[in-house]
Amino acid sequence: MSRVVYPGTFDPITNGHLDIIQRAMSLFDEVIIAVAQGQHKQTLFSLEQRLQMIETIIQGWPGESCVSVRGFDCLLVDFCQQHQVKIILRGLRAVSDFEYEFQLSGMNKNLHPEIETLFLPATEKNHFISSSLVKEVCRMHGDIDNFVPANVKAELLRKLR
């Protein structure tokens, strides 16, 4: 059985993240969305809020039973070991993502050589979407309908306006 972890801060989850998750579901038997507590980043939403938003979205998806959402506050490689996962999935948008992602995958490989990182390129229509830009656009009263699902938009409006 193939199992993958898709980690991130997801503050909040966007259509770009969801595209990666849906594509991962067609490639792996089980996808674990690992939501980082993210103490190094000042998150807009608490871990509980970020988990709840993702759970609301995936409820009712076909193949829903193959996806789970979990928070973590430890080394990602330790989370992978706890869940018997050997593959970390990351999305790549632009060359600018590559440098950080390459370094991160090298560090993880060094910490746990048996765990591999795989990358999926962002779908063209999503390559410019990031959680931080969506928050910025929302804060400035821009239209975010094309970037996040309705429940995430509602939470963003509640927080930022």
Residues designated as active site: 17, 41, 93, 131
Return the number of other C-beta atoms located less than 10 Å from residue 112's C-beta: 16
Q: Which stretch binds ligand ADP (CB under 6 A): 15-23, 50-58, 63-71, 110-118?
A: 15-23
Q: Does 135 bind ligand ADP (CB under 6 A)?
A: no
Query: Cα separation of 98 and 12, whole Å?
Result: 21
Q: Does 30 bind ligand ADP (CB under 6 A)?
A: no
Please name which of 64, 121, 66 lies closest in space to residue 89, comparing C-alpha atoms.
Answer: 121
Q: Specify the residue for token string 């997801």.
A: 10
Helices (H), 8-160: 15-27, 47-58, 76-82, 95-111, 131-139, 150-160
Q: Does 129 bind ligand ADP (CB under 6 A)?
A: yes
**Amino acid occupying residue 75:** L
Q: Does 9 bind ligand ADP (CB under 6 A)?
A: yes
Query: Cα separation of 118 and 139, whole Å?
Result: 33
Question: According to CB under 6 A, which one of 25, 44, 80, 90 is a site residue for ligand ADP?
Answer: 90
- Residue 36, token pair as written in the block: 């980082």
Q: Which stretch binds ligand ADP (CB under 6 A): 65-73, 77-85, 87-95, 108-116?
A: 87-95
| Nearest distance from C-beta of residue 91 to ligand ADP, angstroms | 2
Question: According to CB under 6 A, which one of 4, 17, 33, 53 is a site residue for ligand ADP?
Answer: 17
Question: Where along the sequence are the contacts to ligand ADP (CB under 6 A)?
Answer: 8-10, 14, 16-17, 20, 90-91, 93, 97, 122, 126, 129-131
